Structure 1
Amino acid sequence: MIRVKETGLIALALLLMSIIVIPIPSLTLSINDIIRDDNENVVVDERTGLLVFLNISLSDMLRLAYIVRNVSMPLLEWSRGYNVSLANVIIRLGDEFLERAINESSVNETRAKIYAFVSAVIYAHAPATAHPVLARTIRENVGENFNITNNTVLAVYNRTLELSSLLENAKNIVVNYNLTISDRVRELEIIASGLVNISLTLLNEGFTGRAFGMMIRAYNTYTRAYSFLIKSIFAQILGIRLDPRERLTNRFTHRIVVREILERVIDNLPKVFRERIREKVRNGEIKNWEDLRREVRREIEEYRRYIIEKNIDIVTSVLVQIIRLLYYRGDMLNKTLQDAIEQWLSEEGMLLERLGFGRKPIDENKLREYLKDLVRKTYSETGYIGLELLKECINRLESIIRDKTSISVDLDIVLYYISQLRHG
């Protein structure tokens, strides 16, 4: 995996989640910038674009933060139990802003309200941590060759039951605060429960793939229900109308951007594309947060593709060298292995006509193309990179050669041989 400085990673993750969670060092407000929306009295901070609700008391804003925290915490703790690092980030930053709100409450009420609100928005991203839990569950329970099995479906089923139980607990917390449960939450629960039943029926009938798809949909539906439950808390306490499909932060950010704040965000982006983003800001190509999010996503995707292609090329080159060494010098390591490689190359049409004495030369282009296709297919099926990708490709190549020649081969012997040479 590519390691990025923690500060850059956190800044990037939070930027893509919500621009509202950017730390705000100074919050001097201008009353002249009052705007109105749905009869709500709000003021726009000149430097951040954050909408501050003037008709919401500090006690209510703190109440919002505490309720959202208490409703989100069971899900965050659950995700943390499955080693989801994002859960730790959300808890740490949410608690940090909540503490700031409390500390500012006796000094600057407006600033305290903003900190409390930012804290609530950070906690509200708890449902996003359910997705890595699902991914880990699938990865740890697939069958041989990464096939979906009954055990895979049942593992997702168990996580779905856990998520359903967490949602039920969260609903009880909401009710205990004298808030109502939205009909939309109940509708999503009914849909999810139905999908679970359909999945189990399909599983009993032997339709494993379809059962898996239905169970995934059930899990994601419970996640959506949890997300809307949290949104409904904002709607009730702040007295606003929220569409279930609407991003929460769209209602609380004003479309103004100050270049100094953009520059601060850019400083925490990964170095590989930081300066390109900065240049686009200076050239006026990035004018708002949407532009910035779009460009960051595009840069991430381009860099991801670059890293993947680089890994594929490197692993392909290693495999080519393994085959070449075993074919031309294999008699020094294992004559049976050398014969198996020769037979496999011959059957695959990757040997050229002999020009003189010695072994037939390998068609290097065909060999590289063949192995690159194998590496690319392995990556697309597993998502592995680096040593994991190399090891999996070696395992698959051993199986291919064994199937073609009926000879068991151990290609790792080359890696061992190289390591011995390095260590004398």
Structure 2
Amino acid sequence: MIKKYKVVILGAGAGGISTASRLKNAGVKDILIIDYADKHAYQPAWPLVGSGDEKKKDTVKPMKKVIPNGIDYEQQKVKFIQPVERKVHLDNGEYVMYEYLVVALGIQLDFNKIEGLEETLGKNGVCTNYLYDYLDYTYKTLKQTNDGNIIVTKPKSVIKGGVSPENSIFTFDEFVHDKKKDKSHLILKTGRDTLFPVEKYRAYIEKHLNNKDIEYELNQELVKVDGKNQRATFKDLVALETYEVPFSMLLVTPPMSAPDVVKQSTLSDAEGWMDVNPNTLQHVRHLNVFGIGDCTNLPTVKMGAAVRKQVPILVKNLLSQMNNRPLTSHYDGSTACPVATEYGQAFIAEFGYDLKPKESMPINQGKTNPLLYQVKKRAIPFMYWHAMLKGKG
């Protein structure tokens, strides 16, 4: 028997579930979500887990508790997509047909692109905050590191949770000084040519790094890890030379790219990303297909806050497409990047496609504030679980 649905949503992350909830609230029936996971995670909290200021168990819920009632869930990996035939092929050999498709597959973590990393991850002081099973090891290593270099990396590629490395380096610094472990030297190495794309917030990050005596270097890409000897190899992207740096702790943000299943379909652009109109979120060639979140080529920082702004735009436009009406809702690139500068203090960078501050609170969000830390740690997660995933807010 061929399975066919009005709307098929690929991915049960923030974008997929929020979209499903809003469509259901709008009266759309016959919706299927496809994802291989059995748990749903609030990943923006993971840097705080790695720094000891949040509990790992509080960041996940069983998938069955967040999938809206009345919406089907297929726990399978997507094998490939045929947009012309309107088919989604699954790992179990079956396929599903759709009238409308929403692609919310997130981003791919390319740990394998760094030589030696996969063999040593989770030991020898080599950590990451991008995998749930390794979060405890990050905090354990931080507590055990008493001297030497603590290096936090950020790749040149786009990443999800665009300010995760900054959250980590600042809270690591706070931990090191609180515990009087001043023999450790903190270093941020980023493959980017700037600390942040918006000048107001770039200057603020630079000021905090300098005030805290945290060393930072631009255009430095991690290319190899020798865990046994605790040495990291970086490539200077300007001089095109490689060099080694010893470490006691290495927190790796891996390179990231579009999911292979998107790259290998006619949905992708030249770089592999889901090719959507940046304002309507409709695919540029397949008009019954929409994309949301990290898998798309939207030119904005990939954050959960961006997805929150995209969901209502996508749903309104998808409903318009279903009813043969013009797509009038436009996304302006709005996103927000909360940065904890220490435990209990944060600022929130908020901006759109034009890379100009677009702050939504009646305070200067570029200035560190205990209120903004509580917004990051408490208010945003509460809104995420109880409003956004339910198609509200």
Shorter-chain TM-score range = under 0.3
Q: Which has the larger radius of gyration?
A: 1
Normalization by structure 1: what TM-score?
0.23
Comparing both structures, which one devotes a greater share of its residues to helix?
A: 1
Comparing both structures, which one devotes a greater share of its residues to strand?
A: 2
